[in-house]
Structure 1
Amino acid sequence: MQKPLEQLIQDHHIILFDAECVLCSAWADFMIKQDTHYQFKLVSVQSNIGQQLLAYYSLPTDHFETMVLLENGQCYTESTAFLRIIQRLDSPYASLKYASVIPKTIRDFAYRRIALNRYRLFGKTQQCYRVTPETQQHFLLDEALI
């Protein structure tokens, strides 16, 4: 069944992540384990659908400096995206939502320091994140648009 991009955005809470980044792939693994209620769909920014979603929100499609959360048609980035995601998980992770009392400028500064140095600190994979039959239900794949 074919769904237009706008419908997918309305139907799902989408997390866009850099599937070549070791830290970002570890984040995807964390979400697969912790999102037991299947609240989010993961999308690689390198995938066709990831590229279309980035372009739809006028975000860069050739370099990736932030995780992106698409929730109810709204686009969230940096520390705000992280906090909105984490608050929907079960304890003890949901308690990290209280970090929102830290001013956004400080949170985003810290987020950017990690994001801009993630390849140097954590490495870059030679291949994109691999979706397996066991993890497929956590992902929104290119076939969703076909």
Structure 2
Amino acid sequence: MTTNGQPVLLYDGTCGFCDGAVQFVLRVDRRGNMRFAALDSDFGQAVLRRHPELAGVDSVVYVENPDQADERVTVRSAAALHVADYLGGPWKALGSVARVVPAPVRDGLYDRFAAIRYRVFGRVDSCALPAPDVRARFIA
């Protein structure tokens, strides 16, 4: 599948919270352009290979201009803020408020939450199969 230059959100496909977050984005995304891929998918692994600075990343990854020469990636709280900007409306406003918190503090909170996400929200053996009406937005 091609991304047509649309942003891609890489996520932990075995994380219950991450799956819920993807389902949330699918519900509120008015444009319907964002694509999704699990970090361990072929697409996700290709992105990680192109960006060696992401080695060992345990975070959501927001990919702008995927497969292009100017491909950019952001992780952790910055990635979440990119998603908020993409969604627009109240989510963008909320992201603007969150930006007043220094990035090291935001990322520290992100890391603490990430460390307990499986205990709180559970873990699944594999990614859930997307519903037929949104399946085209997922990249294997």
TM-score category (smaller protein): 0.7 to 0.9
Map of 1:12-51 to 2, 5 A cutoff? 12-51=6-45
Unaligned segments of structure 1, at least 5 residues: none
Q: How does 1:68-83 map to 2 (within 5 A)?
A: 68-72=61-65, 73-83=71-81
Cα distance between partner residues in 1 of 2:128 and 2:47: 18
How many angstroms apart in 2 are the aligned matches of 1:117 and 1:64? 16
Query: By how many angstroms is 1:64 displaced?
Result: 5.0
SS, match of residue 37 in structure 1: coil
State TM-score, norm by structure 1. 0.82
Runs of 4+ in 1 over 4 A off after TM superposition: none
Compute the displacement of 1:127 (Å): 2.6
Aligned to 1:108: 107
Alignment correspondent of 2:5? 11
Describe the SS at the equivalent of 2:86.
coil
Amino acid across the alignment from 2:58: E
CA RMSD after TM alignment: 1.9
Aligned identity (percent) is 27
- Cα distance between partner residues in 1 of 2:79 and 2:126: 25
What is the rounded CA distance, in whole Å, between the counterparts of 2:92 and 2:47 in structure 1?
27
State the match for 2:68 in structure 1.
Answer: none
**1:18·1:64 contact (CA, 8 Å) conserved in 2?**
no
Does the 8 Å CA contact 1:87/1:96 hold for their aligned counterparts? no
Q: Which amino acid aligns with 1:123?
A: G
Deviations 1:11-50 (Å, cap 9, x if unpaired)? 1211000110000000110111111202311111121111
Gaps of 5+ in 2: 66-70
Any idea what SS the aligned residue of 1:16 has?
strand
C-alpha distance in 2 between matches for 1:77 and 1:111: 10
- Superposed CA deviations along residues 37-68 of structure 1, whole A, max 9, x for unmatched, are 023111111211111112221223xx652100
How many residue pairs end up in the alignment? 133
TM-score between the two structures when normalised by the length of structure 2: 0.85
Q: What do the CA deviations read for 1:93-119 (whole angstroms, capped 9, x no partner)?
A: 221122111100100000111112211
User: In the aligned structure 1, how far is the partner of 2:36 from the partner of 2:63?
Assistant: 10
The residue correspondences of 1:59-138 to structure 2 (distance < 5 A) are 59-60=54-55, 65-72=58-65, 73-98=71-96, 99-138=98-137
